[in-house]
């Protein structure tokens, strides 16, 4: 029944593409979706609110991937729809009366060099990444496979209602969630299912609803000063390195918040040129998090004020750019309970769990939040998979038995939602 | 010839008064000046530009000294003229054709507790300060004595021209120089003589012209935030102690200047209340200096910007108040040479020196600058005096033999200026 | 039945004494306890582990209170036992077989000037503080009254077992809890009851068990450098103000902790002398807190390291002294449930609550922790009282109806513990 | 007479090599020197104190230049002597009785891409750099040419005494001066001449003695901490970026020095990896300078202490490595006066200047200092040359007429020194 799943997952695995550059991936998805009788298929720009993209690469970063996809055989109509870095697609089954149910999967790869050794199954069995330096090291190849299979299963069933599958680009740096959530297809979704494999949960375990992802904002700051000779005219410069150092020290000193957990980090600094030059330029990469979106926003406001004031203090300017962001959204217990009950009856599931804490950030929360704010219900489920090494590492791999489990849990949950409308 | 000098100096020594509170001192000066036939005597407010005062004490600080002066027998007309802390006076001899020559002496005491032991001559010979906690510990008692004696000598001579003696209040914290310089009597002065005793130069030495005083600005900064409970709501406060700490650290990091020496110091901090309260209030006392007035101004501008930005960074406000200031002004070599030549011929002088570096700050530079900017010449002379301990300490004392030397050097310099008009 | 309670509370209210200076208070307690037939009464030094005191005042601070107590009529034997600031006492009823139960009340007043106006009952009815500037503004007068009355009630009952009442000094700055917990009378206590009135809970409400006090450490840090003239030799000094500023900024930047809530604050700074002196001395008052004792200890370690390194950075030394400390300890649910059930049946109680969060720090946690670590149970109960203004303010007062409620709840809880031994 | 100078300078110009990689350059020098009858020629390692090298490149940086030199035809014996980056050479004429005179020239090129356009004479006339990205953009090609020509001229003259020419490698980053000064050939030099062309002085001008170079120390600091996840375990890391920021801020706050001018700058920072990682690694490039070597050393000591303490403060380590250094040394007036007088008589010189301030740093000061400390005299002369653009830029070029002037001034100065022995 689930025979083609491995094969399809492996074909995705061979061609990982980074965020907003999933041109060939989208083409593969479109070809697969067209084999199902869907009522609507929006590709690229049309699938999203195009102005809401975040963490968008430069034209120089986009171009080679666009060309590579073309050479690899991507369809020209898909390339046209995605040109400029508007990747991904949304498929809709419109089957009359019934609930509007959504499923969200993500599609991008990572800048990880895949392991070439025999101990790594993709290398051993010949489906290792053909894009050197890129890898599906977080299971998005599995997610796409599952998304397509659920679409097929629902299409072939007697489902009535509306079923929408979001093939979301650019999850890794948090860039694709918002344009999907603000786009035309999020509206009216009453029940949203999100799915992720693994995350240290073994094959056979299913977590029906993740809780407490941290709201996050990832920022790039550029401090701009003026250079001068450090020996001959130190007072003539406006020292961007001093401004940066002051901002960094003070950022960590943003006060703790009585309403809950917060975080702040400056994780990368690059500044100046040589020891005898007052630096005119310093760039930092930073992030703030909060137990709630409100706490994250409070941290962000403080962080921006610190950067601006630190720059002023040294006669510099500071440009704070939001690279990407994700709100907090929790799984709704009613929907999670339904998924947990379904999982209990699925073959291969030996540990159906209700909820678990997330401890990290995910931009699926944009879609979840949009659905919840409109009165709908959402859950973010984990389908366990034995993985030989951690996510985001060269030896990461999924246990393909979990593909069928995921398809069953999701397909049956959709059926159950239609019947019970929790 | 100089017989009354010691006696007069001792009478001043007994009644030291602090800056802008020299009410009784001014009364003593007025009584002495009235014994000379002066053509004009301006007392208190009339002697200065009253709005230009700096480092002015509060009404609470003024009141007890005003009352004490009245009880001690200060003249009511003098008290009226000085009320509100406008002390000091200016005496003018207007003797027809000739140069306009000025002499500046200062009159305030210091918050130093005078030594009571027998090794200290004022204690041993019965003229120790009668104002506990206050002391003429920098020789201003000698300066007033010399100023009066020179006034008498010039009045009794055949001097022709105008001779003005400035009895300047509030030198110690730099508050009285500017209102004298901006006041009605500085205008038209063509030659200005300033005098100080001691400064580590022994009796018999005379330095004709001091050089390179540092321009200085003394500032008080108040950071105002908002308090909150450090355990229950740390994020609700605006932490004035954080703002202060940031400003302090950054103040010292103002870049060195290629045009010359600069200085910065935060010398006093007082902030907050208790460990469990986010501080709403922090106050610092600071100063900047520069080899030139321009360098000092540059440091001041940077310092103010740092305080403002550090406050903003923490959601606080910063109020930067100039407490007092003094510019840089150097002795004119023509006038210094004249004084040096005169000194060579004065009895008791065995070491007439041309110039020496000052290394500190003095607000006589306001008057010097005013005269120089109007095309006149100024010099700041030191008349050496053996002093048993450093200025500003409880055992400081002057060698009274230097009083007559000072009177002679200045009187003869005035005579020489009239004749030679350098 | 509870007729003498108001009178006794008012007699304590008239003579508030600050931490470790409760000489007269202890004398009053001893006199009252001696009217009950107790089996053991330890006064002052004997009641505690004397070397474990924290936040101890200097001899200069102790002396006037010792003299005042003597003049007011304190018993000489009590003064002898308390000399040097070892105040408080412990009373024991030893009634054979049965559980060992403890009750802890605190006895110190606060440096608050009591309101003198008619709207304030103590002023209106003539029992306002007779020690100007001191006040029982946190209800410890009520606590002592309740402690004595419970002692009397248990003594008169057919109680069997051991009952120990701790009259603990020096609670306000967290100084007396540890020496009581480490002293001879904490050993063997199987059930510990602690009590506080008010805390924003109205008369008629009883909270059976407080939870989540923050562990806290209150520290004083002295930075010692070397002074020099800020204009003439800035490089010769070791700037204690720079060291302090660096430590302050960095203290707030101690990283957030993934295991729970932490806090840090520098609430008071005093440093340096004058603007033209590189400061040789800076003193700060600070605190760290943690959701657990372990988190507080982690913060304390980081804070100390920061002070030491900041001092070294500027050629200074740093002396970090623990002023006082309190661990985290929570009420045991078994014991809290028992108290809640008892409260339900006490006349005057209309709202018996199980638990509530504390949100602040209390040094009763030392005794609670000692009992719990030895296998016993402890709870910290609140007996509500209408109070016209907040604790620690001049118009604070207690509703004396709550005194009887407290006595009943505690006495009956002791009876119930004896019977049920939860 | 000076006909071969241009040709030789152009042959050097074509093959610029960077510091410690002047393998082919040294081979060219050796060939030229062997045409003169010198008494001693030390090449590479033997010419210096090999352990005193500074700013030494890694083996990876050395290797390609070594290979390139071999391919270009460098002599194998020279390559052997220079292997491992011990480049440069020293030639000695030992002509019996007479003074020991030294001449120092430098030989390294710069990482500057030479201009290819026709406006640039080396491009137009076919002697542009054949090493892409490298250029003789500071005139060291001219210096070598002059050094060889003076050697020839002295060799052909009736000079008696000892004459040593130092062809010093690695001047640009200050790496070669110390090993030359500490090496075998600096000993016994009684008169040292150093020479530089240009520096904004036009053809026809000669400055006989440069003054006040700043003593300088160029340092690299690596802060090593421990990484952790910024969201999930911020307290587990040791944040190298916080350590770096603290060190940077405090470095600028090193106090001003009363003895003279100082400088400090952090000109380059590179740290961390990504926003969600507590950085384990931060590297900075910094420098300190001082009006005297002592002031520079004082700054260096303070800077190191700050880095170490800032690291400790954040649980990190700091490794402070001296990249290169140069002391202060001034030209001796006796020798400068001699050179100025000589220059007055040299054809082509229209402006013989005595002294000028340097305002930058130079590692010739090592040799000057060594000579002066042993009782000898040294001077650093500038031979003006019209240069179309600044030193260190792609269009820099020298006016070749200045080559002959330099040779004449130096040769005649050597003759005059021999005769007058100032």
pLDDT tens by residue, A43-67? 999 999 999 999 999 999 999 999 9
Q: Which CATH architecture has domain C222-326?
A: 2-Layer Sandwich (3.30)
- The answer to whether D136 is a known ligand-binding residue is no
- Yes or no, beta carbons of C256 and D250 under 8 Å apart: no
Q: Position of tokens 């943003």? A: A254
Contact B324, B174 (CB under 8 A): yes
Query: Which of C255, C278, C312 faces D309 most closely, judged by CB atoms?
Result: C312
Locate CATH 3.40.630.10 in chain A.
Answer: 4-213+329-420
Q: Which residue of A has its CA nearest to D216?
A: A231
Say whether D363 sits in a helix, a strand or coil: coil
Task: Give the range among C347-361, D49-63, D333-347 with minimum mean pLDDT.
Answer: C347-361
Nearest 5°: CA angle at D44, between D43 and D45? Answer: 115
Cβ atoms < 10 Å from Cβ of B348? 16
Q: Which residue of A has its CA nearest to D220?
A: A275
pLDDT tens by residue, B26-35? 999 999 999 9
Query: Which of B218, B248, B287 faces C241 most closely, judged by CB atoms?
Result: B248
Cβ atoms < 10 Å from Cβ of D57? 17
Say whether A263 sits in a helix, a strand or coil: strand
Q: Which CATH architecture has domain A218-326?
A: 2-Layer Sandwich (3.30)
Position C22 pLDDT exceeds 70: yes
User: Contacts of residue D287 in chain A, CB cutoff 8 Å?
Assistant: 230, 275-276
Cα torsion C86, C87, C88, C93: sign? positive
Q: Which residue of A has its CA nearest to C258?
A: A261
Query: Which of A237, A309, A315 faces B313 most closely, judged by CB atoms?
Result: A309
Distance from CA of A331 to the nearest CA of C (A): 22
Residue C80's contacts (CB-CB under 8 Å, 6 or more residues apart) are none
Contact D142, D6 (CB under 8 A): no
Report d(CA A331, CA A139) in Å as an integer: 21
Average pLDDT over chain A, rounded to an integer: 95
- Yes or no, beta carbons of B255 and A234 under 8 Å apart: yes
pLDDT tens by residue, D126-185? 999 999 999 999 999 999 999 999 999 999 999 999 999 999 999 988 899 999 999 999
Give me the percent of chain C exceeding a pLDDT of 70: 100
Q: What are phi and psi of B32, to 5 degrees?
A: -70, -40
Q: Using CB atoms, list chains with 3+ pairs below 8 Å to chain A.
A: B, C, D
- Yes or no, beta carbons of C269 and B216 under 8 Å apart: no
Q: Which residue of C has its CA nearest to B242?
A: C249
Distance from CA of C310 to the nearest CA of D (A): 7
Q: Which of C372, C375, C287, C369 lies closest to C328, judged by CA?
A: C369
Query: Which of D234, D257, D259 faces C255 most closely, judged by CB atoms?
Result: D234
pLDDT tens by residue, D396-407? 999 999 999 999
- Yes or no, beta carbons of B256 and D250 under 8 Å apart: no
Predicted pLDDT at C361: 81
pLDDT grade, residue D359 (50/70/90)? low
Predicted pLDDT at C379: 98
Query: Which of D232, D239, D310 faces C313 most closely, judged by CB atoms?
Result: D310
Q: How many CB pairs under 8 A join A and C?
A: 25
Q: Which residue of B has its CA nearest to D290?
A: B256
Distance from CA of C259 to the nearest CA of D (A): 8
- Yes or no, beta carbons of C249 and B246 under 8 Å apart: yes
Residues that constitute the known binding site of A: 138, 140, 172, 196, 392
Residues that constitute the known binding site of A for Mn(2+): 138, 140, 172, 196, 392
Strands A351-357 and A205-211, sheet pairing: parallel
- Yes or no, beta carbons of C235 and D298 under 8 Å apart: yes
Position C231 pLDDT exceeds 90: no
Predicted pLDDT at B173: 85
DSSP state of A119: T
Cα torsion B33, B38, B42, B48: sign? negative
Q: Position of tokens 């969630």? A: A177
- Yes or no, beta carbons of A261 and C256 under 8 Å apart: yes
- Yes or no, beta carbons of B313 and A250 under 8 Å apart: yes
Which of D249, D253, D286 has the highest number of chain B CBs within 10 A, making it the mutation to test binding with B?
D253
Contact C195, C385 (CB under 8 A): no
Predicted pLDDT at D1: 56
Query: Which of D265, D269, D279 faces A234 most closely, judged by CB atoms?
Result: D265
Which of C264, C304, C313 has the highest number of chain D CBs within 10 A, making it the mutation to test binding with D?
C313
Residue B170's contacts (CB-CB under 8 Å, 6 or more residues apart) are B19, B20, B22, B53, B54, B55, B87, B88, B108, B176
Locate CATH 3.30.70.360 in chain B.
Answer: 215-324
Comparison of pLDDT for A172 and B351, the residue scoring more: B351
Q: What are phi and psi of B298, to 5 degrees?
A: -65, -45
pLDDT grade, residue C1 (50/70/90)? low
Query: Which of A249, A262, A263 faces C253 most closely, judged by CB atoms?
Result: A249
Predicted pLDDT at D357: 84
Helices (H), B15-111: 23-35, 59-72, 76-82
Cβ atoms < 10 Å from Cβ of D91? 28
Interior/surface letters B231-240, b for 16+ CB within 10 angstroms, e for the rest: bebbbebbbb
Q: Using CB atoms, list chains with 3+ pairs below 8 Å to chain D.
A: A, B, C
pLDDT grade, residue D72 (50/70/90)? very high
| A23-35 and A140-156 helices, crossing angle to 10° | 20
Nearest 5°: CA angle at D55, between D52 and D56? Answer: 80
pLDDT tens by residue, C79-108? 999 999 999 999 999 999 999 999 999 999
In this prediction, residues A176-187 reach a mean pLDDT of: 97
User: If 0-12 CB within 10 Å is exposed, 13-18 middle and 19+ buried, where does residue C36 land?
Assistant: middle
Predicted pLDDT at A146: 98
Cβ atoms < 10 Å from Cβ of D335? 23
Residue A4's contacts (CB-CB under 8 Å, 6 or more residues apart) are A149
- The answer to whether B196 is a known ligand-binding residue is yes
Q: Which residue of B has its CA nearest to D260?
A: B261
Query: Which of A234, A252, A289 faces D231 most closely, judged by CB atoms?
Result: A289
Residue B225's contacts (CB-CB under 8 Å, 6 or more residues apart) are B237, B238, B239, B240, B243, B278, B279, B280, B281, B282, B314, B315, B316, B317
Which tokens belong to A340? 């947990």
Predicted pLDDT at B112: 87
Q: How many CB pairs under 8 A join B and D?
A: 25
Locate CATH 3.30.70.360 in chain C.
Answer: 222-326
Distance from CA of C170 to the nearest CA of B (A): 17
B4-213+329-420 belongs to CATH 3.30.450.20: no
In this prediction, residues D32-51 reach a mean pLDDT of: 97
Report d(CA A276, CA D264) in Å as an integer: 9
Report d(CA A342, CA C306) in Å as an integer: 54
Query: Which of A249, A256, A263 faces C263 most closely, judged by CB atoms?
Result: A256
Distance from CA of B281 to the nearest CA of C (A): 10
Report d(CA C249, CA C284) in Å as an integer: 13
Q: Which of A226, C226, A228 lies closest to D255, judged by CA?
A: C226
Say whether A227 sits in a helix, a strand or coil: coil
Q: Give the torsion through C-alpha atoms of D368, D373, D377, D383, to 10 deg.
A: 10
Distance from CA of A348 to the nearest CA of D (A): 31
Query: Which of D253, D261, D262 faces B253 most closely, judged by CB atoms?
Result: D253
Q: What are phi and psi of C195, to 5 degrees?
A: -140, 145
Which residues of C make CB contacts under 8 Å with A? 249-250, 252-256, 261-264
- Yes or no, beta carbons of C359 and B232 under 8 Å apart: yes
- Yes or no, beta carbons of D312 and C298 under 8 Å apart: no
- Yes or no, beta carbons of A359 and D230 under 8 Å apart: no
- Yes or no, beta carbons of B261 and D263 under 8 Å apart: no
Residues that constitute the known binding site of C for Mn(2+): 138, 140, 172, 196, 392
pLDDT tens by residue, C118-136? 999 999 999 999 999 999 9
3-state secondary structure chain C: CCCHHHHHHHHHHCCCCCCCCCHHHHHHHHHHHHCCCCCEEEEHHHHCCHHHCCCCCCHHHHHHHHHHHHHHCCCHHHHHHHCCCCCCEEEEEEECCCCEEEEEEECCCECCCCCCCCCCHHHHCCCCCCCCCCECCCCHHHHHHHHHHHHHHHHHCCCCEEEEEEEECCCCCCCCHHHHHHCCCCCCCCEEEEEEECCCCCCCEEEEEEECCCEEEEEEEEEECECEECCCCHHHCECHHHHHHHHHHHHHCCCCCCCCCEEEEEEEEEEECCCCEECCEEEEEEEEEECCHHHHHHHHHHHHHHHHHHHHHCCCEEEEEEEEEECCCCCCHHHHHHHHHHHHCCCCCCEEEEEEECCCCCCHHHHHHHHHHCCCEEEEEEECCCCCCCCCCCCCCCCCHHHHHHHHHHHHHHHHHHHHCC
- Yes or no, beta carbons of A252 and C249 under 8 Å apart: no
Report d(CA B158, CA B156) in Å as an integer: 7
pLDDT tens by residue, C155-171? 999 999 999 999 999 99
User: If 0-12 CB within 10 Å is exposed, 13-18 middle and 19+ buried, where does residue B391 land?
Assistant: middle
Q: What is the CA radius of gyration of chain A?
A: 23
Q: Which residue of A has its CA nearest to B232?
A: A258
Predicted pLDDT at D231: 87
Position A1 pLDDT exceeds 60: no
Q: Which CATH class is domain B215-324?
A: alpha beta
Report d(CA B227, CA B242) in Å as an integer: 12
User: Contacts of residue A313 in chain B, CB cutoff 8 Å?
Assistant: 250, 305-306, 309-310, 313
Residue D25's contacts (CB-CB under 8 Å, 6 or more residues apart) are D12, D15, D16, D17, D87, D107, D108, D144
- Yes or no, beta carbons of C313 and D315 under 8 Å apart: no
D215-326 belongs to CATH 3.90.79.10: no
Contact B220, B323 (CB under 8 A): yes
Give me the percent of chain C exceeding a pLDDT of 90: 91
Distance from CA of D317 to the nearest CA of A (A): 18
pLDDT grade, residue B231 (50/70/90)? confident
Q: Using CB atoms, list chains with 3+ pairs below 8 Å to chain B.
A: A, C, D
Strands A377-383 and A281-290, sheet pairing: unpaired
């Amino acid at each position: 029944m689930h025979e083609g799943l491995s094969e399809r997952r492996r074909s995705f695995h061979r061609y990982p593409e980074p965020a907003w550059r999933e041109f060939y991936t989208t083409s593969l998805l479109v070809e697969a979706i067209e084999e199902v009788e869907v009522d609507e298929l929006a590709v690229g720009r049309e699938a999203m609110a195009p102005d809401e993209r975040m963490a968008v690469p430069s034209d120089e970063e986009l171009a080679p991937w666009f060309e590579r996809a073309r050479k690899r055989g991507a369809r020209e109509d898909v390339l046209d729809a995605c040109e400029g870095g508007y990747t991904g697609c949304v498929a809709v089954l419109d089957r009359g009366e019934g609930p509007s149910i959504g499923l969200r999967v993500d599609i991008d790869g990572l800048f990880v060099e895949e392991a070439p050794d025999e101990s790594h199954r993709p290398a051993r069995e010949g489906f290792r990444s053909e894009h050197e330096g890129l890898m599906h090291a977080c299971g998005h190849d599995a997610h796409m496979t599952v998304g397509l299979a659920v679409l097929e299963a629902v299409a072939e069933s007697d489902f009535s209602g509306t079923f929408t599958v979001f093939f979301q680009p650019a999850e890794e740096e948090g860039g694709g969630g918002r344009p999907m959530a603000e786009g035309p297809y999020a509206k009216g979704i009453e029940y949203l299912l999100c799915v992720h494999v693994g995350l240290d949960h073994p094959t056979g375990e299913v977590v029906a609803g993740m809780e407490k992802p941290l709201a996050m904002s990832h920022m790039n700051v550029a401090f701009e000063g003026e250079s001068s000779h450090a020996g001959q005219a130190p007072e003539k410069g406006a020292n961007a390195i001093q401004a940066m150092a002051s901002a960094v020290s003070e950022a960590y000193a943003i006060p703790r918040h009585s309403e809950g957990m917060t975080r702040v980090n400056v994780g990368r600094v690059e500044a100046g040129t040589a020891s005898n030059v007052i630096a005119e330029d310093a760039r930092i990469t930073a992030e703030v998090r909060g137990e709630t979106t409100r706490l994250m926003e409070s941290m962000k406001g403080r962080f921006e004020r610190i950067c601006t004031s630190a720059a002023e203090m040294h006669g510099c300017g500071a440009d704070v750019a939001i690279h990407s962001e994700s709100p907090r959204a929790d799984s709704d217990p009613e929907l999670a309970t339904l998924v947990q009950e379904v999982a209990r009856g699925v073959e291969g599931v030996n540990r159906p769990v209700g909820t678990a804490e997330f401890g990290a950030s995910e931009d699926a929360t944009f879609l979840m939040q949009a659905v919840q704010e409109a009165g709908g219900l959402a859950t973010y489920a984990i389908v366990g998979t034995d993985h030989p090494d951690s996510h985001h590492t060269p030896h990461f791999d999924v246990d393909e038995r979990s593909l069928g489990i995921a398809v069953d849990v999701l397909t049956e949950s959709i059926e159950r939602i239609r019947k019970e409308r929790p």
